[in-house]
Structure formats: C-alpha cells, structure tokens
Amino acid sequence: MPGAGKSTIADGLKLRGYDIINMGNAVRTEAKNRNLEPTGPNLGKLMLELREKNGQGAIAKLVVSQIKNSKSKVIIIDGIRSNAEIEVLRKYGTVKLLAIHASTNTRFGFLKQRGRLDDPQTKENFEERDNREIGVGISNSIALSDETISNNNLTKDELVDCSFKIIENWVE
C-alpha cells in the first residue's frame, strides 16, 4: 500500500548495487508527456485510464523497455499494484514479490513526511488513494506475495537490511 516503505527499500537497495525500476515513475513520465501536473488525483486518473485502455497490466507494460535494457540479473521493481502486472513481468523473467505492510497511521505519517507532490495531504485524500489502489487489485498481490515485512517499528536501516537478506536468499 502507498507509504508502507517500498521506495525507502528501493533507495537502500540501489545503494547496494541493485537496478531499480519504479512503476509510479512510469506513470509520472506518462503524465509529463501529456502535460499533466503530477498531483495525486491526476496520476490516479491517469493510472486508471491507462488500465482501462490497455488492460490491467498497462503500467507494467510501460517499464518493459527498462527491463529489456537492463544489464542486471536482478531488477527491483517498486510499486507493483496488481496480479495482471505480475503476469506481464513474468514474460521477462522470474518474479518474486516482497510485500511491505504498515499500519494506516504509519503509512499516512510516512507520506506526509515524504512530501512528494502526489502524496495525500489529508486523511480523506489518503483514504481515496488507498481505495483506488485496492480497486486495481493491490490487496490480491499483497496476499500472494512470496515474503512480507511489517514496517511499523523498523528503522530505515532495519527495513533495508531485512529486504536485502530476503532478496539475497532468493538470488542464491
């Protein structure tokens, strides 16, 4: 779910040499190409429009060229939202899913601290975003994940270390 710590993990793993592809950045790039301001409501509408027009795996399709151009054996993809996206990604390699869980209050606090333009500033906006994410199937992907980390009381270093150990075990 938004704000659970996925991007924090991705940033930490990038420092450890992993290639990172961010699905949200693919939507932000598409918004820029359409001259849309990258606000939460605009990005949310665009995400839904892309899925309606190009199928539920549409956002994953936006990152396929990055996957194909990567020289890395292991790529961390930040922000998978649906099983349809996972199916698209499986066409290009083995997919393991690490779900990051954090309470609603924890996630809202993280998003307010992050301060990205598309982050919700009110509890109402936060709940709208959560409902949109649930609507595209994120809870199904979380339920079927290979591993889960609870990020309610971890430091950033602990969160990254835990993720790193899980991924290293997958790669062995």
The CA dihedral of 67, 43, 105, 139, to the nearest 10 degrees, is: -60
Instruction: Tell me the whole-structure pTM to 2 decimals.
Output: 0.88
| Cβ pair 135, 124 in contact under 8 A | no
| Interval 21-78: pLDDT, tens | 999 999 999 999 999 999 988 999 999 999 999 999 999 999 999 999 999 999 999 9
**In terms of residues, how long is the chain?**
172
For the cut 90, the answer to whether the pLDDT of residue 105 exceeds it is yes
What is d(CA 172, CA 170) in angstroms, rounded to the nearest whole number? Answer: 6
- Which of 141, 25, 135, 147 shows the shortest CA–CA distance to 78? 25
pLDDT score for 114: 86
Using CB atoms within 10 Å of the CB of residue 62, give its burial: 0 to 12 exposed, 13 to 18 middle, 19+ buried.
buried
Q: What is the CATH number of domain 6-171?
A: 3.40.50.300
pLDDT class for 109, splitting at 50, 70, 90? very high
